[in-house]
Amino acid sequence: MQGDHLETVCGCVVGGAGPAGMGLLFNALKSGAMPELAKEGLIIVDASPTPGTGRLGDYRITANSVGDVFLDCLRDPALRDVFEPLEHSPAYWRIRRQAQSAPQLADVAELLAEASKLVLDFIVERYGVKLWSSTTITEIVREGDEYQVWVESDGRSRRIRSRAVVLNLGGWQDPQHLLDSLADQGLAVPPSAQIQSADALLRMNAVQLRHLFARTLAAKGRVCVVGGSHSAFSVLENLADALEFAGLEEVTLVHRSPIRLFYETAQAAHDAGYVFDAARDVCPVSGRVNRSGGLRYRALDVGREALSKGQIGKTGVRVQLLQTHQGPADQFERARQALAEADIVVQCTGYQPLLPGLSHAGGEAITLMEVKGGLDSDPSGCPLDASGQRLHGLHLFGLGAGLGVDPRLGSEASFDGRIYGVWQFHHDASGVVIDSVLTRLQTPAIQPVAAAPRLVSSRSEERLPFLWPVLVNAQS
């Protein structure tokens, strides 16, 4: 690595060390790729003073997998010495005791935080990796065959020049996406209604939820939840638990397609009386029903209860489920009316990636192409810009970006979203990214066409707004 305090040159930047970025680092260590990845300099940049777990532990819900799935991310002979201190960690033993049940995400995050710290300390010491914590990526400029990553810390701006950038800064829920997807179906939310993101509500405790919903409940206003995924059923349960005795009697859940339930086998689904499409809902590799898109664990229990009894969990709060596409005859009209009368609409319809400003060296903005559930990227998370040009050397696969289904690993044909989750981050998803980054680092760089340079010093003096509008909105 070379450079001074204002500009640094390295082979790879890992931007964002939440579960996705850390998954890549764990995997590089397990697979023996770390020395190669760090050879020309590896800089990890994260806005948090304690990188490692991102937002996962902030959600006040249970995981959508059993504890063993998270332990499997730590289980590898190459990591045995690094993780030895975990033998004495209460967080580790708490997850071990829940190896076959779904733990609270706060407990998962505690374990991942400890494991991440051990990995980060190790790679800094052993491979000379640089960890820039409390440092925010504000802008990325593509110049020729490399990227300029602008970062800010303690009010000071500096630049990293790098051939590869792995960028997983988390996701946010853009209310305009909700409005657009409802409009596509001929549905609308009145201007008087508040749109709340599931992401924000799932991070609130009961007192905060009661405060937020107080006016609506006092006025007997209508609450609509839009979406049919894990988040939607987690929101139903958290609202019912927190607000039942504050006056919440009923919630309306508006969902586009049928609520999908996960079963280990087609036989188990038949035995439970669950109706599914044997050709489209069963994964040909694993034989599981709704493997990628089905509700699991606690969300599955809440979903089953809602479908069979119209109740939320153990509470007395009722839920009306209204399917807007190819559902029973009157449900579209009832959904339209429910949304039109809504006081609060909770958005549970997926995430968009949090991105810094992206541009070409000449100043032209780069917009990444989206598909349902994330970004339009290749199997290594390399995205396309709006003109269909692939942005070689840039990789995104975390929340809001995701990856397409890998046919070798399988999924159900009816699932058309993107795949993301902690286990994938630590295994297949990051594995392809590591291979792609290493291949790039081994290939000589194409010399950039000279473009008018934007000097680091002039950047500081101009006092440009360092947060791109999306970032500002998402953090408010």
Ligand X SMILES: Cc1cc2nc3c(=O)[nH]c(=O)nc-3n(C[C@H](O)[C@H](O)[C@H](O)COP(=O)(O)OP(=O)(O)OC[C@H]3O[C@@H](n4cnc5c(N)ncnc54)[C@H](O)[C@@H]3O)c2cc1C
Exposed/middle/buried for 6, CB within 10 Å: 0-12, 13-18, 19+?
middle
Q: Which is nearer to ligand X, 170 or 227 (CB)?
A: 170
Least distance (Å) between residue 249 CB and ligand X: 25
The mark string for 342-361 relative to ligand X (x by CB under 6 A, - otherwise) is ------------x-x-----
What size, in residues, is the chain? 476
The mark string for 186-225 relative to ligand X (x by CB under 6 A, - otherwise) is -------------x--x-----------------------
The sign of the torsion formed by the CA atoms of 123, 169, 396, 199 equals positive
Under the binding rule (CB under 6 A), the answer on residue 373 touching ligand X is no
Considering only residues 12 to 31 of the shown chain, the ones binding ligand X according to CB under 6 A are 15-21
Q: Which of 140, 237, 151 is nearest to 198 (CA)?
A: 237
**Piece of the chain touching ligand X by CB under 6 A; list 47-55, 83-91, 116-124, 252-260:** 47-55
**Piece of the chain touching ligand X by CB under 6 A; list 28-36, 219-227, 272-280, 417-425:** 417-425
Considering only residues 377 to 406 of the shown chain, the ones binding ligand X according to CB under 6 A are 398-399
Q: Which is nearer to ligand X, 13 or 384 (CB)?
A: 13
Q: What is the DSSP string of 186-239?
A: T----TTSEEEEHHHHTT--HHHHHHHHHHHHHTT-EEEEE--SHHHHHHHHHH
Structure tokens at 150: 């602008």
SS3 assignment for 162-188: EEEEEECCCEECCHHHHHHHHHHCCCC
Under the binding rule (CB under 6 A), the answer on residue 65 touching ligand X is yes
Q: Which of 471, 465, 469 is nearest to 157 (CA)?
A: 465
CA distance linking residue 135 with residue 314, whole number of Å: 44
Under the binding rule (CB under 6 A), the answer on residue 55 touching ligand X is yes
Q: Which of 60, 41, 31 is nearest to 2 (CA)?
A: 41
Total residues interacting with ligand X, rule: CB under 6 A = 35
Under the binding rule (CB under 6 A), the answer on residue 133 touching ligand X is no
Considering only residues 221 to 280 of the shown chain, the ones binding ligand X according to CB under 6 A are 231
CA distance linking residue 47 with residue 54, whole number of Å: 10
**Piece of the chain touching ligand X by CB under 6 A; list 93-101, 168-176, 187-195, 207-215:** 168-176
Strand, coil or helix: 301: helix
Contact (Cβ atoms closer than 8 angstroms) between residue 408 and residue 375? no
Under the binding rule (CB under 6 A), the answer on residue 59 touching ligand X is yes
Under the binding rule (CB under 6 A), the answer on residue 168 touching ligand X is yes
* Whole-Å CA distances, 307 to 228, 237, 253, 454, 476: 12, 14, 11, 58, 35
Residue of 12, 421, 432, 434 that binds ligand X (CB under 6 A): 421
Q: Which is nearer to ligand X, 132 or 263 (CB)?
A: 132
Residue of 13, 24, 43, 47 that binds ligand X (CB under 6 A): 47
CA distance linking residue 53 with residue 48, whole number of Å: 10
Q: Which is nearer to ligand X, 143 or 152 (CB)?
A: 152
Residue of 43, 46, 139, 182 that binds ligand X (CB under 6 A): 46
Contacts to ligand X by CB under 6 A: 15-21, 45-48, 51, 54-56, 59, 63-65, 105, 136-137, 168-170, 199, 202, 231, 354, 356, 398-399, 420-422
